[in-house]
Amino acid sequence: MHTISVQTLHTAPAIEFAAAELSRCLGLAGQGGQFRLGLFADVPEFAAPETGGDAFAVETTGDGGVLVGSNPRSVLFAVYAYLRELGFAWVRPGPDGEVVPQLATLPAVSLRERASYRHRGVCIEGAISLENALDTIDWMPKLGYNAYFIQFRDAFTFFDRWYRHLGNPTLAKEPFTTEDAAEFTKRMREEIKKRGLDLHMVGHGWTCEPFGIPGPGWYQHEGDIPERARNLLAEVKGKRELWGGIALNTNLCYGNPEARAIIADAIAEWAEENRDVDIIHFWLADGSNNNCECPLCRDTRPADFYVQMLNEVDAKLSARGLDTRIVFLVYVDLLWPPVKETELANPDRFILMFAPITRSYSQPFAASAGPPPELPPYTRNQLAFPREPAANLAFLKAWQKLFPCEGFDFDYHFMWDHHRDAGQYAMAEVLHQDAKRLRDIGLDGFVSCQNQRVFFPTGLGMTALGRTLWNRDLEFGNIAADYFAAAFGEGAAAARAYLATVSELIDPRLIRGEASDALKQAAAFQLARVPTLVAEFASHVAKGMKDSSPARATSWRLLERHGHFARLLAAALAAKLAGEDAKPQAWALFTWCREHETELQPWFDLFEFQQTLGPYLGIPRAELNA
């Protein structure tokens, strides 16, 4: 039995956790050695990186060695990078995603790495259990992610969807309360901090919660609205009322100083009470084309009021001696930049977040050699939002011209669009290209607003995102080859070719509503090929499910289930394309998913899948959730 000795040279939770992970993994691989873990400053023979950010160095022999980082979480990154060199891999969250090598000896390893981007995060969305959330947080640093964003003051709505089993009447609803949500969120915060990750929080709710109107999610409001609050709601078409009955989607009368002051005071108070939160997101309402039309507001863009409030928030935080960072959002109506308020008093406080929620994912962002297109005029409450990447980037450039501060992309590849790509291979390529080009469009990272359970059929997309955010020079082909080798072993090439073909035959552009007539005509033939493709691949699946590695056997088992899924999806899409009533085929697909949800739960978000595909196939969301 090999002896493992790990000395920590610096006291920090992330470094202690890194030591525990190194010991655990080496023990699984049957190896040991003497190792020292710490910061660059703790080991004088290591030269610290010249610039800031996450960076590490590894120098080991067969007997052990030294792993150092620029900050505590970078020591954890160093441990996982070292283990990856030994043959470890993490192909999806959870214990059955860990590929463990059996080593006769330890090789010598020498690494010097620094992250390409400052912000590399995941944002909670979808329907999840506590185990899903904790597994995601545990998995993220293994791929180089350094931030987790818990939307709202707690994550009630995302847990509530799962524990109520919204969209799956075959499972009995489980009790879930706001107290449960608070406890689960506390657990998440502890695990995030244990790994030294940046903790982002809130975003939604600042336009309702401080006014006595609950906003735990996108729910219809029940109960009275305080009279003081009603007078501060946006006036749209002569009425001050909740937009569509949903508090979270309702904008306010931002021209009224009282409304702005209530928000700024609430943010400052919450920041002081939650000093473990590194970055607070301050967003306006989640609705669009519903800004106030009263005399105080109608001649001023929402973005002008927004910048005014950002400066008011900064002043209140500074008065309390708080250095909490604040994210401001370029999103829907706020895509149009301000024309009056064009200066942040304290730019270092703020991080610009570009959220192109209406963009197409059929092609990546690209740095254009020519001038950006002109912005369409701002017409209050009559705005059309851009789909083309170039048009979205034009709005970003307009904001960056005024506010050349730190910023990141907040994007939605894994919110809905992965459900439109059955093989998730084509969208992974686009995601890789988007991450690779962030610096070219003046952004320093990416936070993925996404379902947490996005590993059916594979974790290629999330792996490509994490690895590219760490090293933008990596090529997609190499990332994919490494991933499939780790996840599928001897059958890696066949599995990769199979899923790439699924993405071709079930063309995502069909479900995105971007298919030309020629593509629709070709799609009928392509969809008809799916059952044959699945059948021809079955022998690879049967062999792979016998792999001695539990992680790889699980990868193949997921592909076996995915074959059934792909056939049913292809049949539903074929009916839709033929102009038939696709509801019977759609219900066959959703029924199969519901029957297998418990088995697929850690990797597949049925709630969001139905929300995305149901309306396209003719089934209203209300009917799906009945």
pLDDT of residue 424: 98
Q: Mean of the pLDDT values across residues 403-413?
A: 97
pLDDT at res. 367? 61
Query: How confident is the model at residue 84, as a pLDDT?
Result: 98
Say whether pLDDT at 370 is over 90: no
State the Cα–Cα distance between residues 51 and 280, nearest whole angstrom: 25
Asked whether the predicted pLDDT for residue 1 surpasses 70, the reply is no
The whole-number average pLDDT for the span 561-588 is: 97
Can you tell me the distance from the alpha carbon of 445 to that of 409, in angstroms, rounded to the nearest whole number? Answer: 6
Q: 314-334 pLDDT, tens per residue? A: 999 999 999 999 999 999 999
pLDDT of residue 578: 94
pLDDT higher than threshold 70 for residue 15: yes
Q: Note the pLDDT of residue 368.
A: 59
Distances (CA, A) of 64 to 33, 36, 56, 77, 281: 5, 8, 17, 17, 42
Round the average pLDDT of the chain to a whole number and report it.
96
Query: Between 492-505 and 426-436, two packed helices, what is the crossing angle to 10 degrees?
Result: 100
The pLDDT of residue 44 is: 85
pLDDT digits over 493-541, tens only?
Answer: 999 999 999 999 999 999 999 999 999 999 999 999 999 999 999 999 9
Cα–Cα distance measured from residue 74 to residue 76, given in angstroms and rounded to the nearest whole number: 5
Of all residues in the chain, what percent carry a pLDDT higher than 70? 99
| The predicted structure's pLDDT at residue 625 | 87
Strands 407-411 and 64-69: unpaired
Class of residue 467 by CB neighbours under 10 A (exposed 0-12, middle 13-18, buried 19+): buried
Find where tokens 């990078």 sit: 81
Reported residue count of the chain is 626
Mean pLDDT of 98-103: 95
Query: Is the pLDDT confidence value at 116 over 60?
Result: yes
Name residue 286's amino acid.
D
Q: What is the DSSP letter of 326?
A: E
Question: How far, CA to CA in Å, does 287 sit from each of 204, 284, 308, 409, 550?
Answer: 11, 9, 20, 20, 45
pLDDT at res. 626: 75
Over residues 474-478, the mean pLDDT reads: 98
DSSP assigned state of 454? B
Instruction: Say yes or no to pLDDT of 369 above 70.
Output: no
Looking at residue 503, its amino acid is: S
| Spatial distance between the Cα atoms of 571 and 349, rounded to a whole number of angstroms | 52
pLDDT at 30 over 70: yes
Q: How confident is the model at residue 139 (pLDDT cuts 50, 70, 90)?
A: very high
Per-residue pLDDT, averaged over 66-92, amounts to 98
Q: What is the mean pLDDT of residues 198-206?
A: 98
> Average pLDDT of 549-563?
98
Q: Determine the average pLDDT of the residues in 81-100.
A: 98
SS3 labels along 213-232: CCCCCCCECCCCCCHHHHCC
Strands 33-39 and 64-69, by their bridges, are: parallel
588 within 8 A of 613, measured Cβ to Cβ = no
What is the rounded end-to-end Cα distance, in angstroms, of the chain? 57
pLDDT computed for residue 371 by the predictor = 76
pTM comes to 0.97
Give the pLDDT band (50/70/90) at residue 46: confident
Report which residue type is found at 206.
W
- 388 vs 94 pLDDT, higher one: 94
Give the pLDDT of residue 49. 80
Q: How far, in Å, are 18, 172, 184, 581, 602 from residue 131 at the CA level?
A: 21, 18, 10, 39, 8
CA 528 to chain CA centroid, nearest Å: 33
Q: pLDDT for 416-425, tens place per residue?
A: 999 999 999 9
- Bridge partners of 454, per DSSP, are 604
Least confident stretch, 238-252, 341-355, 366-380: 366-380
Q: How far apart (Å, rounded) are the C-alpha atoms in residues 588 and 360?
A: 28
> What per-residue string of b and e applies to 338-359 under the rule 16 or more CB within 10 Å gives b?
beebeebeeeebbbbbbbbbbb
Give percent above pLDDT 90 in the chain. Answer: 96
Name which of 228-237, 349-358, 368-377 the model is least confident about: 368-377
Which among 121, 218, 153, 224 is positioned nearest to 445, based on CA atoms? 121
Q: For 146-175, how does the pLDDT look when each residue is reduced to its tens digit (9 = 90+)?
A: 999 999 999 999 999 999 999 999 999 999
User: Average pLDDT in the 97-112 region?
Assistant: 96
